[in-house]
Amino acid sequence: MLPPPPRRADPRRTFAAAALLAPGVLLLALILVWPFLVMLGMSLRERFPGPIGPSFAKYAEFLTDPYLLNVALRTFSLAATVTLLCAVLGYPIAWFLARSRSRWAHLVFLGTIFPLLVSIVVRTMGWTILLGNEGLVNAALLGLGLVTEPLRLMQGFWSVVLGMVHVLMPFMVLSIAAVLGRIDVAYAEAAATLGATPLRNFLSVTLPLSVQGVAAGSVIVFCLTVGAFITPIWLGRGHVTVMAIAIHEQMVTLVDWPGGAASGILLSLATLLLLGGYGLLLRRWARR
């Protein structure tokens, strides 16, 4: 006679797993799910204080307001640009970190994570010191006589891009390096012996195999850019209004809480949709 198959789960183990999971799950529920539900409720009111409709008036308002739609478009353009630049500029650094046996690799690693150790406020402030009208760059240009008036380096879309790329680059580099470091060098060597030039080798083997790292880094950078507040305010000097700033305006300046909540929900939804589509695209490409 065969002994009966073992029971699926030992109740003691199940309890232990539940006990270990509980604090994290409760905390997440408290700081993520609960506020989200509150905001969802808020967005379904017509005014606050007032009853929860449910009314989609604030959503309709958003989707017909050219100013807000423009801000949303700018926000996602900014996020896409920053993500692309981080990926393109960060990949070679990640490559160096993952593959180089140089003694400089340690220094490059330190240089990469160092920005993470400094508060985002301080880093952005640093850029204002560099790029301001009386900043280092303008002082140098004036001093050298290359320009006669300070350049307005700091109120455009690209100055915000510059600051955001600097702030978020470590996330991209570390995500890509983590994946690159686990890819066996033999794949690229095999491709080379089969006749792949370095460029085709990279595009057909190493890049598809490291796409997970690029995807993870992109998600982090994109999300953080979409929600960025301080950097666009300081480096855009009021000329680069993004969603975070607009929502702040709606809620604090206009005291339109349902409107701000609806904007927030729509922003989250759009971000999720974009990232989902991006993930699908990458996966399909990598399996090609």
Query: In the complex, which residues of this chain contact another protein (CB under 8 A)?
Result: 184, 186-187, 189-198, 200-201, 204-205, 208-209, 286-287
Closest approach, Cβ 99 to another protein, in A, equals 14
Q: How open is the CA angle 206-209-212, to the nearest 5 degrees?
A: 130
Quick check: helix, strand or coil at residue 279? helix
Beta bridge partners of 45: 52
Q: What are phi and psi of 205, to 5 degrees?
A: -120, -65
Closest approach, Cβ 152 to another protein, in A, equals 47
Report the candidate in 284, 282, 275 with the shortest Cα–Cα distance to residue 219. 275
Closer to another protein by Cβ: residue 47 or 200: 200
Closer to another protein by Cβ: residue 49 or 195: 195
Closest approach, Cβ 278 to another protein, in A, equals 18
Cβ atoms 91, 209 nearer than 8 A: no
Closer to another protein by Cβ: residue 112 or 206: 206
Closer to another protein by Cβ: residue 156 or 208: 208
b/e per residue, 211-229, with b = 16+ CB within 10 A? bbbbbbbbbbbbbbbbbbe
Quick check: bond before 54 cis, omega within 30? yes
| DSSP single-letter state for residue 45 | B
Closer to another protein by Cβ: residue 12 or 284: 284
Closest approach, Cβ 185 to another protein, in A, equals 9
Closest approach, Cβ 106 to another protein, in A, equals 18
Closest approach, Cβ 98 to another protein, in A, equals 18
Burial class (CB in 10 A: 0-12, 13-18, 19+), 282: middle
Closest approach, Cβ 207 to another protein, in A, equals 10
Closer to another protein by Cβ: residue 11 or 195: 195
Closer to another protein by Cβ: residue 83 or 210: 210
Cα 167 from Cα 169, distance rounded (Å): 6
